[in-house]
Structure 1
Amino acid sequence: MKGIFLMILICLYFCPSKIQAQVVYTENIYTYDSLTEDMVELSQTYPELISYKSLTTTEYGRNIWAIKLGHGETSILLNGAHHAREWLTSALLMKMIETYADAYKTKQTIEHLDPNILNGISIWFVPMVNPDGVTLQQFGIHAFPRYLHTELLKMNKRSVNFKRWKANLNGIDLNRQYPANWENIKGVSKKPSYQFYKGSSPLEAKEVKALVDFTYEIKPEIAVSYHSSGNVLFWGFNQWGLTHTTNFTNDYYQIAEKVSGITGYKLEEPASYQQGGGYTDWFVEEFEKPAFTVEIGSLIKENSLPLAAFPSIWERNKSIGLFLAKKAKERKMSLR
């Protein structure tokens, strides 16, 4: 017994990477409360590397959290859960934060990528853009006050099953709220609904306005918006109409090809009828920098992805944050 005890003590001292306590658990439904608790614990576990702030508070009291990983002024921005039923993207981004922080602390690489890049580049995460919608999708109508029930049921076509819910609590589809080609978006609902209503004007939704303002604040070199259904990587939005078209498009496409190669997601440019209103559409048009929309899982009809899909999704995506941080550094240096 003394020998076993001594071995445990030696491992505790010399093998810290093997006994790191896991903070982010992805085996269960990943909720707003789980995210908030995990964020605080991670910031306490890695105080030299992780910090966070609230971008805004929703009308129903939930914060939209932005989490910073790294030390650099140059940054990239990854966001998830614009759509309520796509909360598995939040779990993915939170696991990314913990994994990168642990690799940095224990001096390990992730698929040959060195996390020390975080000394010069920051990765900002907004893991849950739509916390109210996520809460409704996960817990149903009784997670909210009774005075809201009638309107929520109306927007959900009288169904008490909210598993298909995509919008925020006001029935606005947050990824159809950005100014890029907003007026020409097709296939939208004409009134508040569980999905596809683009609102009465761009940036009407508080959640979207907060993310736009934050993007202007940090001016990331690359942006990624994580969604959940289709196993596809979208790139491009009207880049042919931008300044320095050839150089920008070539660089953009090369990065897109590499991300596609790493993840195994099919690389596609959205059809014209799909373009507009989305976060990455707006980012490419506004900043003339690369942005990608990643659909992390198989096409599934009006529901969240199953938890059983997470391990394979994680394997496909676990290095993407560090890879894009490296590309952001290269882009920044090439512009000097």
Structure 2
Amino acid sequence: MQILACKGDTLSLYSERFDLPHALLVDSNPHVTHDVLQEGEEIYLPGYEAHVYKVKKGDTRETIVRELDTPVDALTSIIRSPLTAGEEIVVPVRVKKAVINGQKNYDFTALMNDLQTLLKLYPFLRMYEIGKSVLGKPLVEIQIGRGSKHVHMNGSFHANEWITTAVIMTFLNDYLCALTNGKKLKGANVRSIYERVTLSIVPMVNPDGVDLVLNGPPPMEPYRSDVVSMNGGSNDFSQWKANIRGIDLNNQFPAKWEVEKERKIPKEPAPRDFPGFSPLSEPETVAMAQLTKERDFVKVLAFHTQGKEIYWGYEQLEPKEAEKEVNEFARQSGYAPVRYIDSHAGYRDWFIQEWKRRGYTIELGEGVNPLPLEQFPDIYEDSLGIFLTALQME
């Protein structure tokens, strides 16, 4: 929420009054360039919502605090005159639970709506457009934290694996809520993580494909006719993995791409497995490659489904510390670590090949894609330790 500063107020004062880390206030208010705030200056309070409260006879600051469960010092910044029965005052109330629901059909609209909700409530989040999909949907990166160690996570490279986006967004919400409330998340001190780590998230790499799976073919031609043709005339797109042009985005990276091209069937655009006519031919993979080159990630985690496995090696190029970390992932999740598989041209393969750093593909859940939403609670519980381990391990 926003409040108007009084003369002489500072962000340090608000940090004490609202029980918020000074760093979160600074990062939520990049427009503030001076120590002492100007009278009437708008200040964002992360993790708080405005609650309109009608004053009752006999109310005091203390009774309002008890009723609304808000810090008593917070009202000092809001209530500056005697209370009058019947008047309405705006009270800052801390948000103490998740505000988004990941257990739903998680298409591009759901993603963007939830991101706007989180950005409004947690303005220290940073959102960047890193490119556009074939159909012009923005490919967004979310950044959180101020540390020098940059860790990247992504989801929905494959269209019918859209549940990975829902899992990532649920984790992001829980992380943000723990930050502003000063709570640990599964034993992890997230405020310490915020200072040490910058987390980069691309929650939906393939928005056109996800929307195709969940909502059917797009209205515009030639894409509408093309996807129906590639899908054998069927309007059931539940098994579609590719982008809207029939290119498998996780077979698009220049890590022995030629090997995949020769052995992959089909040999033309299709619902799955076609690596394209050249590496990095699609705007989605170009955007991911450019982001990765610019950000200097120390490790990357690509979330897929299904199999309850974690792939962590490529061509013996992975660093030695990867084995220790993947074993901790396995301990936290119950998933099986798998060092090598006979596969190339994936995002993780390319990252390990080019940077010789830790890269992981996490296959969430088990069964047949797309995984049913009934699995969501178990998938999230299993993956939470992976998220937090990745942010904590050096």
Q: Report the TM-score when normalising by structure 1.
A: 0.88
The 10-residue stretch of structure 1 (156-165 or 192-201) with the greater mean CA deviation from structure 2: 156-165
**How many angstroms apart in 1 are the aligned matches of 2:98 and 2:243?**
31
- Describe how 1:247-258 pairs up with structure 2 within 5 A: 248-249=319-320, 251-258=321-328
Native 8 Å contact 1:17 1:106 kept in 2? no
Structure number with bigger Rg: 2
Distance in 2, Cα, partners of 1:308 & 1:130 = 23
Distance 1:99 1:25 in 2: 11
1:1-30 per-residue CA deviation (whole Å, 9 max, x = no partner) reads 999x8686252447x998535332123211
2:334 aligned residue: 264
Q: 238, 241, 251: which one pairs with 1:166?
A: 241
Q: Which residue of 1 aligns with 2:284?
A: 207
Q: Out of 346, 350, 354, which is 1:278 matched to? A: 346
Distance across 2 between alignment mates of 1:292 and 1:128: 17
Q: Deviation at 1:267? A: 1.1
Letter in 1 for 2:197: I
Contact kept? 2:255, 2:353, Cα under 8 Å: yes
CA positional deviation for 1:146: 4.6
Q: Does 2:157 correspond to 1:82? A: yes
Which residue is equivalent to 1:62? 137
Match of residue 298 from structure 1: 366
Q: Which moved more, 1:174-183 or 1:39-48?
A: 39-48
Aligned partner letter, 2:201: F
Paired residues of 2:242 and 2:248 also in contact (CA < 8 A): yes
C-alpha distance in 2 between matches for 1:67 and 1:178: 22
Give the partner amino acid of 2:370.
S
Amino acid at match of 1:276: H
Root-mean-square deviation over aligned CA pairs: 2.2
Counterpart Cα distance in 1 of 2:133 and 2:166:
20
Structure 1: gaps of 5 or more residues: 331-336
Does residue 1:39 correspond to 2:115, yes or no?
yes
| 1:25 aligns to 2:101 (yes or no) | yes
Gap regions ≥5 residues in structure 2: 1-55, 73-91
2: CA distance, partners of 1:36 / 1:10: 30
Distance of aligned partners of 1:8 and 1:109 in 2 relative to their CA distance in 1, 3 Å threshold = same
What is the aligned-residue identity percentage?
29
The partner residue of 2:295 within 218, 223, 226 is: 218
With normalisation by structure 2, the TM-score equals 0.75
> 1:333: which partner in 2?
none
Larger RCO (alpha carbons 8 Å, 6+ apart): 1
How far apart, in 1, do the equivalents of 2:211 and 2:150 lie? 29
Query: Which residue, 223, 228, 231 being the options, matches 2:305?
Result: 228
Q: Which amino acid in structure 2 is aligned with residue 55 of structure 1?
A: I
Among candidates 374, 381, 388, match of residue 315 of structure 1: 381
Question: Quick one: distance in 2 between partners of 1:36 and 1:270?
Answer: 36
Alignment check: 8 A CA contact 1:81 1:127 kept? yes
Q: Is the 8 A contact 1:190 1:197 kept in 2?
A: yes
Per the alignment, in what secondary structure is the counterpart of residue 318 of structure 1? helix
Distance 1:6 1:159, change over 3 A: same
What is the CA–CA distance in structure 1 between the aligned matches of 2:96 and 2:183, rounded to whole Å?
13
The runs of 4+ residues in structure 1 deviating greater than 4 Å are: 5-8, 16-19
The AA in structure 2 aligned to 1:158 is: G
Map Cα deviations across residues 169-213 of structure 1 (whole Å, 9 max, x no partner): 000000000111111123432000000100011101110010010
Alpha-carbon offset, residue 86 of structure 1:
0.5
Q: Match of 2:5?
A: none
- Cα distance in 2 between the residues matched to 1:132 and 1:101: 28
Higher helix share: 1
Equivalence for 2:44 = none
SS in 1 for 2:69: helix
Give the count of matched residue pairs.
Answer: 314
User: What residue in structure 2 maps to residue 334 of structure 1?
Assistant: none
Aligned equivalents of 1:17, 1:101: Cα separation in 2 = 16
Report the CA distance between 1:97 and its aligned residue. 1.0
What amino acid does structure 1 have at the position aligned with 2:257? W
Structure 2 residue aligned with 1:195, among 268, 272, 288? 272
> How far apart are the structure 2 equivalents of 1:7 and 1:44?
24
| Pick aligned residue for 1:131 from 190, 194, 207 | 207
